[in-house]
Structure 1
Amino acid sequence: MSVCTVANTMAVRDTDVNVQGSALAGQHVLLGVTGGIAAVDTVRIARELRRQGAQITVVMTNAAQRIITPLAVRWATQGEVITDWDGDMQVLDGVDGVLVVPTTRDTLASYLHGLQNGPLLMALSVARSRGNPIMMVPSMHIDLANDPITDELVDRARHQGISIQWGNEEEGK
């Protein structure tokens, strides 16, 4: 923990977190952030991952960047935030797992159909080819979640070994 002394008091940097567990100690998590409105929770989620000991690298879609800034995400993760293509993407070499939260239906469908229209989809394909665990947390309006096509997408993702974790329904979302 980083501290500074000011007038005989100790202040903790605002980027620090109190480690509360070791479930993710030594794990490098790639956090994918998509354009669902639930992206506003990215700071809270990233800091919770850090409280469990995770090192975090973030890949944000363009739509996510319209909801939450890379600056805020960088502050929360104290890690690299990827917002654009990088032909090398060496940061993926040390990734232990991928968490995409929120996962929009568009991102889920694009990934399952092999589309490569952004760095997050490329990172997901790399993770799949390397056998890295992938967890997705869908976030969408209840009408989209109840669409039979969404069920097909979720079933297909689970068949491919992707962990799908739905959050609690709140206000029809």
Structure 2
Amino acid sequence: MSASPPDLTGRHLLLGVTGSIAAYKAAPLVRLFKEAGAEVQVLMTPDAERFITPLTLGTLSEREVLTEIFPENEEGSWTKHVTLGEWADLFVVAPATAHTVAKLARGFCDSMLTATALSARCPLLVCPAMDREMYRHPATQDNLERLEEMGYAVMPAAHGELASGLVGQGRMPEPDAIRERSAEMIDRAEQSTAASSASFGDRSLQGESVLVTAGPTQEPFDPVRVLTNRSTGTMGHALARSAARRGGTVTLITGPTTLAPPEDVDVVRVETAEEMNQAVQAHRDTADLVFMAAAVADYTPAERSNTKLKKGDDFVLHLRRTPDILKTVGDHKRSGQILVGFAMETNDAYENARRKLEEKNLDWIVLNDLTEEGAGFGPNTNRVTLLSRDGASEDLPLMAKSDVAEAILDRVLSAHSEKAS
């Protein structure tokens, strides 16, 4: 966090408060926003009033708290959600319950909060707060990933003691952290607008060709069953989306996932490691930057049955190695091309990643240590270490995978620019 509070003078902030026990944190959050100079309009769901009163938040914000889509005593109340959506520089939902996250992800419109979210033209920051198992549940993770695909920012829930008595990830981020993130989002939005009023984000990859791999591969051994892994493809999709927003011409080669394809990206769908190898080798030479984020199977069945194999007491499956796609790309890397690999480790993580970087002729490698909570497959968060060819390394904090993608691109492009100059 910065040494001094951010300056939000004159900024218009919407704060959506939902029915979580963490709603009490909305009071200090409003105070922090106001101290930074922002104007704050609080929107509450009806269930939020069970945990904190509108009077409290209205007093702190110096504005009447709104709950219903058509508020009483409000001129033009039937379009209030529209005018608020145009007024705001940022919409923060904190705390965001699993119920509200699901509504936002699916476009529900049954309160002033959800109606304004659909109308808002500004960035939207979601700060989840719920019990550990609710946060981990695939439905919640799917909804959070969907929000990120829609362009919302999601702050990972914090780790700690929960209202249920359990300890784990699910706590609402602390108010000062939310204020810092809010200021960063407003600054980024303003910089983006200043850079190009006709496009989204910076154009640091304008004219560059980017190749990204994502997701698992599936190696069938009969018409019904496959060997695969737990990869969801979220990290690779986030990289492809971020690169496209920066102006790159992006090709995403993805194994089977349930994710919607990113906008403005050429998507090549594959199933097996061999299919991914063929697709990558066909695109590698034209790419300026290559991000190999896919979790490719190391082994595939040596033989594939044309009929479903029946159950027996014992079953022996003979495997053979799949093509080493990353090494092949590294061996054929052309001058000026940037190659970024990924390593997922459970022991001797740093040493194994550094060895992989050297052996595969990579410029960068992104290390995931599965022993660290929030890292790796599944969650919409990641905690990674960036290792570069020149020996430098940087540990990134636990962040949403969309933010990890931005950080990776920032570091890689910055280093590339310094070398070029």
Whether contact under 8 Å (2:85, 2:117) holds in the other structure is no
Indicate yes or no: 2:134 matched with 1:144. Answer: yes
Displacement, 1:35?
Answer: 0.3
Q: Deviations over 1:120-167 (max 9, x none)?
A: 10010001xx2x100010000011111111111111111111110124
Indicate yes or no: 2:71 matched with 1:78. Answer: no
Letter in 1 for 2:21: I
Indicate yes or no: 2:50 matched with 1:66. Answer: yes
Aligned residues: 151
CA distance in 2 between partners of 1:93 and 1:134 (Å): 13
**Partner of residue 116, structure 1:** 109
CA distance in 1 between partners of 2:103 and 2:84 (Å): 22
Indicate yes or no: 2:72 matched with 1:88. Answer: no
Displacement, 1:74?
Answer: 0.8
Whether contact under 8 Å (2:104, 2:117) holds in the other structure is yes
Residue ranges of structure 1 left out of the alignment (5+ in a row):
1-19
Displacement, 1:39?
Answer: 0.3
Letter in 2 for 1:65: E
Q: Which has the larger radius of gyration?
A: 2
Greater than 2 Å deviation, 4+ residue runs: 20-23, 90-93
2:149 paired residue among 142, 147, 159: 159
2:33 paired residue among 46, 49, 52: 49
If the length of structure 1 is used for normalisation, what is the TM-score? 0.82
Displacement, 1:28?
Answer: 0.3
Displacement, 1:22?
Answer: 4.6
**Partner of residue 4, structure 1:** none
Whether contact under 8 Å (1:139, 1:166) holds in the other structure is no
SS at match of 2:94: strand
If the length of structure 2 is used for normalisation, what is the TM-score? 0.35
Q: Deviations over 1:69-89 (max 9, x none)?
A: 000001121123112222120
Letter in 2 for 1:157: L
Whether contact under 8 Å (1:97, 1:133) holds in the other structure is yes
**Partner of residue 13, structure 1:** none
Residue ranges of structure 2 left out of the alignment (5+ in a row):
71-77, 162-166, 171-421
Displacement, 1:37?
Answer: 0.8
Whether contact under 8 Å (2:69, 2:115) holds in the other structure is no
Whether contact under 8 Å (1:102, 1:138) holds in the other structure is yes
Indicate yes or no: 2:84 matched with 1:100. Answer: no
CA distance in 1 between partners of 2:19 and 2:92 (Å): 15
Q: Deviations over 1:31-63 (max 9, x none)?
A: 000001100111111101112111000110000
SS at match of 1:82: coil
Task: Tell me whether 163-172 or 144-153 shows the greater mean CA deviation.
Answer: 163-172
**Partner of residue 24, structure 1:** 8
Structure with the larger RCO, 1 or 2 (CA within 8 Å, 6+ apart):
1
Whether contact under 8 Å (1:55, 1:79) holds in the other structure is no
Alpha-carbon RMSD: 1.4
